[in-house]
């Protein structure tokens, strides 16, 4: 099957509070986005990569990357808009499947990506990498004037953190994302659009260190783990 990867990289990284957007922060001598693209380039099944970048992006053109395989498209307001723009831009490549992976997750390992692709292709169903929740999870509720209190404990037996990549049949995802956005649904990942459209989504266990670089305290750990990963 023909598999094209999409990398949403058009965010501003507000929670990182850095003047450089987080996908362009350097760790171990390369930007976060370059680390991420290098991981995807290791996966032989992926034939092309479309990166959604901001119209105001000053950084991407300076990266040393393989432009035969990697191209860009203008992203949108929200992550889902960026992904939808990229899905439109790869139409001529007639992908069977699309693999969406956050620019801000450079720690993903090629083995997990290959496992996700293999399991979904074998089942002919889409799926996502996910990690079982390990902490006890509380739902909070506000008292009028005295901060937040525990409302209840959520049984964690069936709880997962949604990671990326997320891997779906191209046409099915494009239609689901279009329809869900048009209906005003709250879509924070590809799986939410597929769930909204009523399609089954497989949960494929992935490494929990594939976290999304989000806040300043994530940088030290990401830097350490990237140094351990022999490239």
Footprint on this chain of ligand CTP (rule: CB under 6 A): 8-15, 23, 52, 75-79, 82, 102-104, 212, 214
Q: Quick one: 8 or 127, whose CB is closer to ligand CTP?
A: 8
State in angstroms the smallest separation of the CB of 76 from ligand CTP.
6
Nearer to ligand CTP by C-beta: 82 or 210?
Answer: 82
DSSP for 147-213, written as a single string: -EEEEEEEP-TT-EEEEEEEEEEHHHHHHHHHHHHHTT---SSHHHHHHHTT---EEEE--TT----
- In the block, tokens 């790869």 appear at 90
Residue 189: phi and psi, rounded to 5, are -150, 175
Nearer CB in complex with ligand CTP: 15/138: 15
CB of 2 to ligand CTP, least distance (A): 23
> In terms of CB distance, is 1 or 88 closer to ligand CTP?
88
Q: Minimum CB separation from ligand CTP for residue 188, in Å?
A: 9
Q: How far apart are CA 207 and CA 210, in angstroms?
A: 6
Residue number, nearest CB to ligand CTP? 11
Shortest distance in whole angstroms from residue 213 CB to ligand CTP: 8
Residue closer to ligand CTP, measured from CB, 11 or 165: 11
Q: How far is CA 169 from CA 1, 71, 213, in A?
A: 10, 21, 27
Question: Could you tell me the smallest distance in angstroms from the CB atom of residue 27 to ligand CTP?
Answer: 15
The three-state secondary structure class of 53 is strand
């Amino acid at each position: 099957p023909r598999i094209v990867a999409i990398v949403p990289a058009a965010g501003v990284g507000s929670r990182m509070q850095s003047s450089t957007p987080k996908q362009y922060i350097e760790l171990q001598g390369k930007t976060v986005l370059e680390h991420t693209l290098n991981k995807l380039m290791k996966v032989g099944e992926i034939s092309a990569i479309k990166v959604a970048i901001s119209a105001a992006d000053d950084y991407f053109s300076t990266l040393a990357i393989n432009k035969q395989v990697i191209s860009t498209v203008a992203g949108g307001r929200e992550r889902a808009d960026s992904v939808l723009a990229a899905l439109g831009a790869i139409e001529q490549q007639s992908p069977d499947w699309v693999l969406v992976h956050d620019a801000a997750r450079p720690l993903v390992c090629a083995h997990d990506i290959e496992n996700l692709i293999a399991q979904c292709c074998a089942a002919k169903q889409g799926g996502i990498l996910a990690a079982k929740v390990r902490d006890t999870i509380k739902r909070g509720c506000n008292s009028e004037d005295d901060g937040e209190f525990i409302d209840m404990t959520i049984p964690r037996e069936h709880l997962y953190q949604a990671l990326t990549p997320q891997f779906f049949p191209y046409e099915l995802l494009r239609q689901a994302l279009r329809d869900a956005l048009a209906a005003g649904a709250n879509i924070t990942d590809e799986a939410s659009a597929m769930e909204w459209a009523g399609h089954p989504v497989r949960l494929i266990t992935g490494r929990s260190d594939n976290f999304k670089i989000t806040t300043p305290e994530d940088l030290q750990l990401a830097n350490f783990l990237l140094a351990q990963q022999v490239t």
